[in-house]
Amino acid sequence: MLLRLPTSLSEAREHLAEQAVPVGGATLVWAQWQRDGFPELAMSLRRLPEANVLEPEALGAAVLLHRIDDRVPEVLHRAAGTIGTGAVRRAATVGGNIVGSTLRCLLPAALVLDARATVLDRDGPYETDLAEVVAKRHLLLNLSWRTPLISGYYKAPAEAGGPPPLVVATALSAGGDGRYRLRTAVRDGYEVATGSTECGAGAEDADEVLDGLAATGLGPLPPAARDVVRREVTGLLRRLDGR
């Protein structure tokens, strides 16, 4: 297997035209390649500047998970810290987790940040939403977002090799007229559901907020998952009270 390491977008586009297979840390595909055979040509973005940003409002696809720290919002930092073992986090990348993984542990966090994705095809880079990235498995360059006021992340305990644990991600941003916008994303099994609603400034509004979320894509969640959403949303609103 020949591995290309582009240092510019023009080089990366050339390698895509050559049918190079994008790889991140290869933590997900290595066993498959050993079984089915390695591709003739692969491409890593680890030397591409656009794929290596790590800033308060941007995160590159080639960034290793263990490097994600408190420069990014809490929800994203905590999500990265729960993925696999330390050895996995030192090899796996943001792009591999969101595009290449069936678990997509970072996806709920990125969704509540209302993140936009910059992707690359043979015609060049362009911006799109995360739903398209996941559905079409685009070559992800980076994510960008606006920093929320506060955010939170919960991942249920789980045994290695078992079913995907429940994930609840939340983020609260300033809205209009002194109100706020609450975004929530839940991974239940392999599916991710999202919802957002306006809310006031305190935990006393929790019931109203939860009613608003129940009218979104979070409505069909099973009771156990709804209970966790209630706890996480109420806790986020209490944190807002204490600011």
Which CATH topology does 2-33+49-144 take? 3.30.465
What token pair was written down for 237?
Answer: 């609103």
Reduce the DSSP state of residue 204 to 3 states and report it. helix
Reduce the DSSP state of residue 242 to 3 states and report it. coil
Cα–Cα distance for residue pair 164/216, rounded to 1 Å: 23
Closest CA to 48 of 117, 140, 145: 140
pTM for this one? Answer: 0.93
- According to the model, what pLDDT value does residue 113 have? 98
User: pLDDT by residue (tens digit) across 140-172?
Assistant: 999 999 999 999 999 999 887 788 999 999 999
Q: What is the pLDDT confidence band of residue 202, given thresholds at 50, 70 and 90?
A: low
**Rounded mean pLDDT of the chain?**
91
Question: Is 60 exceeded by the pLDDT of residue 25?
Answer: no
Q: What is the mean pLDDT of residues 67-92?
A: 95
Domain coordinates of the chain in residue numbers? 2-33+49-144, 150-241
User: pLDDT by residue (tens digit) across 26-66?
Assistant: 555 655 666 666 788 989 999 999 999 999 999 999 999 99
| pLDDT: which is higher, 67 or 103 | 67
